[in-house]
Structure formats: C-alpha cells, structure tokens
Amino acid sequence: MDLVSFQLNDNVVWVYRRGNEKVWDIEHAETTPDEANGNGDGGNTKKIKDLAWKPDGKCFAVVSTDGLIELFDTMSGVLIRSIHLEMEISCVKWFKRNPEVNNGLNRSRVGGILDDVAITNSLPSLKFKMNNGTSGTSKEEDNDSVLDFLIAGSTGGSLSCVFSGIFVVENLTLCDIFENSEIMDIISNKSLSNHYVLLNTPASRDISVLKVDTDFIHRDKKFTKILLICSKLLNLIDHIKSSIHQIDSHYKPYFDYTIRIVELLRREIKEDEIENDNKSGNKNTDSAGRGDNDENDENDPNPPTKEDINNNSDPIYDLYDLLLTGSLSNATKKWLTDYLSDRGVKRWTKLGRTYFDNARSSIYNDLVSCLHHMIVFLTDLKGLSQWASNDTSLYTLDIEECIKISQSYLKYSYKFMMELNDSQRYFEQTIIWLSSILSELTADEKLNVSFRTNDITKFLMFVSSKINAVDSDSDHGSIHDASKVNEFTKYLDTVLNSLFGKIKNDIKSKFKLDTHSLLFSNENSSVSHVSMKIFSDDNKGHALMLLDSSQIVVKEFNLTTLDVQTYEMTREGTETITDMKIVSSDRLLVLFDDCVIMYKLLLDTKEAVADFKYVLQEHSNETDSDFQAGYLAVNEDKKLFCVLDKTKKKYVWISY
C-alpha cells in the first residue's frame, strides 16, 4: 500500500494511505507500565522514537525511547505483542534473511524431523484468541520459515535483537570504547553477513561507523533454524498461558457464584438456628409468669455464642440430608424460594456450562495442540543441537527435561479434560435435582424427572471442599481444577529459560566487532542530520551528513575495509535545508521551506546538480498558502515522497 506514517506528537503516530485515508491511529500511554500499574516505581516518561516495518510488510513496530517495542498487525492495526528492553532506544531497524542468498554456500542439508517428515502437518492446528478478541488459526505451514530480526540500538552503545518478533537477546556490547556512544543508524549488506552501525560519541563529538560480523545469520543454517524453533516455542508458551487465562476467566464467575449461592444457605441456617435457640431459651413459667431457674440462666458461665452456632451451620449437610431423606428444613426451603429461585438456577446453569464448554474447547484446541507441536519442536531442536557441533551440545540436557515436562503436561491435559466431563455431569445432575424441588415448592408441580444421587453427592463433596479451602484463606488458584496446569507451565518456563539463556550466550559470542572507522569529527562544526545507506553490490556504503543546516557531505566507505572517501558537495543557492533523504546511490532528496529538490550526486566532480524541483505551493490547495515544510518521508518502492507541514496537520504526496 501507499502508506506514510506521521509522528503527531511524543505519543501519537498516524498512518495514512495515499488519498488522505487514515489507516491507523497509534497512541501510547505517557508513562511506563510500572507507573501505570501503580507499582510505586515512578516510571519514566516515554516518547515514541521510531516506526519500523517488517520487510514482508505483515506487521510494524512502534518503538519508544524507554525500551518499549510494540508490534502491530498491518491489516488490522491490532497490537500483537509488547516487548520491553532494558535500555533506552535510540534507533531500530528490521531485517529479514534472504533464503536465496546462500544457495550453494552450505550444501550440507541441515534439517530435522520438521523438514524431512513434515510431521507438523498431521498435528491439530492451533486455535487461539487474537488480541482483538476474534478467533485465529496458526498452522505450521503458514508460519514464516525464514528468520527475521529487529535490531534496536541504545544511547549507551549496545544492541538488542528481537528474532521473529519474540525471541529477545539484549545487551550486545560491541566495544568497550563505545559504551557511552549513541547508536544513530544500523544498516546491513544484502546477505546480512555484516551489519554497519553508525555511532555518535558525545564526549569526543565524533561520528564513527562499526562493522559487525553477523556471518552466522548468513552461513550457519543450523543456528538460524535453532533461533526459529526457539521463537516458535515461545509463541507456544504464550498460547498455553493465554488458554489457561481464558479457562480461569470463565472458571472464576462460576466458582464465585457457586460459593456465594451456597453461602446464602449457610446464612439462612445460622439465622434459623439463632431463632430456634432463642425460642428454646424461654423456660416454662409458673402461674406468676416467672420462669424456672431464671437466676441460674443469667449466671451461666458458658452461654452458647453466635460463633458456636456458625461452626455448626453446614449448608452442604442440609442439602445432603435433603438428598438422602427428602427432609426439607425451613432454612433450605427459604433459600430455594427466596435466594436461588428459577432465575438463580438459570444463571448458575449458564455460568457452569460456559466454564465447562470453554475449558474443554481450550484444552483440546489449544493446550493439547500446543503441546503436540512443542514436543515436535523440542525433538527437532535436540537433533539440531547434537548435529556436528561442540558448542550447542550443552543444550541437550535442558531439551530432554523440557520434552519430559511437555509429555507429562500433555497426559495431564487429557486427564483434566476427562475430569471436566465428570464434573459437568455432577453439576448438571445437581441442577436437575434442585430445579425439580424448586418447581414443586413454587408451582406445586412435581416433575417426573430422574437424577443420579451418586453424581449429586460428588458435586456436594466438591463444593464442601471448596468452601473449606475458602474458609482457610487458601488461594483461589490452588483450588482450581487446572491448578496443576499452571504448575506445569511455571516449571516448563524455568527450564526453557535456562535453555534459552545458553542459546542467547551463544548469539552474543557470534556478534563480533570486525573493525571501525572515524567518519567525521565534530570539533569545529556540528552535524544536524546523519543517515546511512548501502546500494547495489558495488561494495560501497554511503553516509550522508548535513553540516550547519547548509553543507552536504557524503562519506563513502568500503564495506570490507571501511576505508572512507569524503565528498563535500557544492550546490546552487544558500537556502537552509530542513530535511533530506538518500533515495538511490546517486540521488538525494532535499527539503527546503518552500520546495523539494532532487539532486543528482556527481561524486567525481563533488557536485550536487538539481535534477527536479517541486514547489510545494503548486501541490497544495489554495487554502494551504501558509504551508511550511517540516518533514520528509520517502517510499522508495513506490517512488513516492511525502512532505509534512511543521504543524503536522497538512501533507502532500509527490511522485518522482
């Protein structure tokens, strides 16, 4: 699409399609999550730093200075995932490995059971809830099989990588001498075998370029596959946690209502017992109206207290007695007619069925499917870690433990699903029983229904155990039927984090500083604009600099040696430059207050020759006579550029 993004202010990004159609309106909170959650940490005021597109265009990242990276779906603008890095972000770029680049470089086929057998095609598809509440399906064959990664640079001279939008490796320190430098830009050669980092060192006011060896992304197919699997494992863990949360979200209303409605019966029993106790306290009186032993009653050292009565008020006992003997106490009768009623039964039934149906669906469609995939990926990862390698063999023990946990988890998921079927049967039998009694009491109509006493007994025992747990101040999570599922997840998280930690250490050792070179020293002049690009395969990179808002300097550096050639370009006119962008190896787009000029760079003669000129007023409406150019955005694929007014309320599209 012909899209352009505008940063309206510190916390708002607008994305428009050509034709003045607003596509997305992304707004950030003004504080960090810690402060928003009231943790007392104070939080930091954050500002949107950049917007980076995934190379295939399927999603984009909005990045804040405080380290927050939010990934949005391109088609819907819905937030997919939030990642918080422990650094202040100064720039971000998104790269994608081209699978065609290393054809023939590594003829040894590195694959696992996923490549050789395609076993995941026979597994159930993953069904999960999207962030916007709609259902989604994630099939293995639909997932990207090519590694993409987002690199964020910090104000402290370190890098962080986010592989496949989820697997985070932080604090890649390039060189100790640049630890206090700000990373201004990051680019890569076509094969991603090397990345070039532009740094500004405030202390010396120097601008340097660093060549970082990332050849493992280019050549090590096995390791890139390991990274892909790790990302998929993290996605599966996210789906599992989301499924458990979904089960919990339906379980809590059902559980709370069950406890609350039965507790109302307890209250009725208490009041009935207190009333009976008061009646039994009225002794036989003589003809004078005086009761027997009145003085002894007043001086009784251990009169029954309300707490004593409460301890004997067991609502489940009353219901169990009703079930076995048909004996209906006044308290239970009042509870059925005044509190439970037909409306209460319907609500109880709805909450119960919602929980059971949702839990069963989540287990089968999400938990079981995720665990099947997880076992396959872990098995594949184990095979890769053992394949002709010394460094990754350290992963094996952790992987084996993860596989065992996943297998146990899978067995329990099936067991849990069977227990849910039984629990639902017990619950529905109890509802049928209570509904029949209620109908007889309120409509004087005896329903000819049958119910299983044994099932009702088990439900009453279940409720009794939950009431006892609540009375003892137990955590609701520990009395949830799926509590073991949470325990498995926490344990699996711990072991996976250990495994991922070893892999991240390997990645840090593979990111190596190759060489660096000084591009510009700021001792006598200041640089107000810097950008860097690589074009074609001529083994050259270009760094574009704007000195004192007027002088254009092009630094051409060799991608292998970082040898630098300086071109101070001469141009006609002395107008102040507002913004500029490199659009090709020999084309430069420069924005002035009232026009945009496309310059052709003649490096041999060090000249910037005006090729095309666009007067902004000619492309604006008559009502936009006060249009003042402020910012420049370029869509190189569509050969379009957009000029945004300084007020950020007007813009124009221009083709080149």
Which of 71-85, 235-249, 449-463, 513-527 has the weakest average pLDDT? 513-527
pLDDT at residue 343 in the model: 92
- How far apart CA 144 and CA 178 sit, in angstroms, is 35
pLDDT at residue 150 in the model: 93
Average pLDDT value for residue range 76-85: 87
Average pLDDT value for residue range 358-372: 89
pLDDT at residue 169 in the model: 93
More confident residue, 315 or 525: 315
Q: H-type helices in 386-451, by residue range?
A: 396-443
At 208-224, the pLDDT tens digits run 889 999 888 888 888 88
| The token pair that represents 389 in the structure block | 């390698």
Amino acid sitting at position 557: F
Average pLDDT value for residue range 22-46: 57
Highest mean pLDDT among 142-151, 174-183, 345-354: 345-354
Percent of the chain residues past pLDDT 70, beyond the cut: 77
pLDDT of residue 34 exceeding 50: no
Nearest C-alpha neighbor of 211 from the set 565, 536, 585, 563: 563
At 44-60, the pLDDT tens digits run 566 788 888 888 888 88
Quick one: pLDDT band at residue 478, thresholds 50, 70, 90?
very low
> Reduced to 3 states, what is the DSSP secondary structure of residue 335?
helix
Which of 470-479, 564-573, 637-646 has the weakest average pLDDT? 470-479
CB 144 within 8 A of CB 160: no
pLDDT of residue 26 exceeding 90: no
Quick one: pLDDT band at residue 483, thresholds 50, 70, 90?
low
Quick one: pLDDT band at residue 513, thresholds 50, 70, 90?
confident
Nearest C-alpha neighbor of 196 from the set 547, 554, 561: 561
At 289-312, the pLDDT tens digits run 333 433 333 444 444 344 443 445
Nearest C-alpha neighbor of 315 from the set 257, 265, 256: 265
Task: For residue 97, count CB atoms less than 10 angstroms from its CB and return exposed for 0-12, middle for 13-18, buried for 19 or more.
Answer: buried
CB 591 within 8 A of CB 628: no
Cβ burial 295-334 (10 Å sphere, 16+ → b, else e): eeeeeeeeeeeeeebeeebebbebbbebbeeeeebebbeb
Sheet holding 167-173, edge to edge: 89-96, 148-154, 158-163, 167-173
Nearest C-alpha neighbor of 316 from the set 272, 269, 274: 269
More confident residue, 274 or 29: 274
Q: Count of alpha carbons within 13 Å of 322, Cβ hemisphere only?
A: 21
- How far apart CA 418 and CA 420 sit, in angstroms, is 5
Q: Given 3-state DSSP classes, what are the helix, strand and coil percentages for the chain, each rounded to the nearest 5?
A: 40, 30, 30
Which of 22-26, 60-64, 93-97, 350-354 has the weakest average pLDDT? 22-26
- How far apart CA 65 and CA 48 sit, in angstroms, is 6
Nearest C-alpha neighbor of 183 from the set 153, 224, 209, 206: 153
At 371-401, the pLDDT tens digits run 998 999 998 888 888 775 555 566 888 899 9
Find residue 15's DSSP bridge partners.
5, 24
- For residue 181, the Cα-to-chain-centroid distance in whole angstroms is 30
- How far apart CA 629 and CA 593 sit, in angstroms, is 5
Average pLDDT value for residue range 402-419: 90
| The token pair that represents 354 in the structure block | 């919602």
Find residue 172's DSSP bridge partners.
159
Angle formed at CA 500 by CA 498 and CA 506, multiple of 5 degrees? 110
pLDDT at residue 523 in the model: 64
| The token pair that represents 409 in the structure block | 């988890």
pLDDT of residue 3 exceeding 60: yes
Q: Give me the residue label for tokens 């990111």.
A: 511
- Checking phi first, is residue 40 left (phi over 0); if not, alpha (psi -120 to 50) or beta? left
Contacts of 7 (CB under 8 A, 6+ apart): 13, 48, 51, 648
Q: Which helix H or strand E contains 614, and what residues bound it?
A: strand 607-615
> Reduced to 3 states, what is the DSSP secondary structure of residue 415?
helix
